[in-house]
Amino acid sequence: MSRTIWDEGHEPGGRVVALAVALALTVAVIDSLLAGRVEVLFDVCFVLICTGVALLVHPRDFFFVGVLPPLLMLGIFGLFALSSRSGIGAAHGDGFLQALISALGHHSIALFIGYALALACLVIRRNRLLRGTITRGSATSRPHPPARPQAYHPTSR
C-alpha cells in the first residue's frame, strides 16, 4: 500500500505548536511591515499553517492541533494589541480589548477556514487510523492485534 499525505504525520504536538507560533508570528510581522498592518498575506498563510500542522502532527497529539487555530490567532493579535495596535488595524483610541476584538473580527473568515480545514484533516486522519490503514507508530504497517490477557497463575514460594 502506498503512503499518502494523510499517513505522514509524525511530529510531536509541542513541536508543531512551536512551529505554528513561529511561522504565524513571522508572517504577521512581515505583513505588518509590508502593508502597514496585518492583512491578506497573514490570512492566507494562517490557513496554510493550520492545515500544515494538522498534517504534520503525530496521531497521539491531535488535541494540540484541534485547539490551536483560535488560540494561535488570539495570541498573535494579543501581542500586536500590546505592542502595536495600529499593526492590527485598531483605531487610535482603542484599548487593548477593543483592538483585540476588532482584529479577530477582521480576520474571522481566515480563522473559520483555517480551523475548518485543520479539523477536517484531523478527522480524515483519525478515520484512516481507526480503519487500520495507519498505525500510531508506523505509517505503513497494519496495527498489531490486541494482546490476549494472561491467565493469573500465583507463584509458589
CB contact burial 56-90 (16+ within 10 A = b; e otherwise): bbbbebbebbbebbeebbeebbbebbeeebebbbb
Q: Quote the pLDDT of residue 108.
A: 95
Beta carbons within 8 Å of 98's beta carbon, 6+ residues apart: 90, 91
Please identify every stretch of the chain with a pLDDT value under 50, giving residue numbers as ranges: 138-142, 157
pLDDT at 115: 96
Q: Residue 11 in 3-state DSSP? A: strand
Per-residue pLDDT at 54: 94
Residue 149, phi then psi, degrees to nearest 5: -65, 140
Q: For residue 67, what are the contacts with CB-CB under 8 A and spacing of at least 6?
A: none
**Residue closest to 60 by CA, chosen among 150, 130, 136, 111:** 136
Q: Extract the C-alpha cell encoding 22.
A: 513561529
Q: What is the pLDDT of residue 38?
A: 92
Whole-number pLDDT of residue 122: 93
Could you tell me which of 21, 30, 38, 34 has the C-alpha nearest to residue 80?
A: 38
Q: What is the pLDDT of residue 107?
A: 94
Domain boundaries, the chain: 5-131
The reported pLDDT for the residue numbered 5 is 64
pLDDT for residue 145: 54
**In the 3-class helix/strand/coil scheme, how is 106-120 assigned residue by residue?**
HCHHHHHHHHHHHHH
Q: What is the pLDDT of residue 141?
A: 47
Global pTM reads 0.78
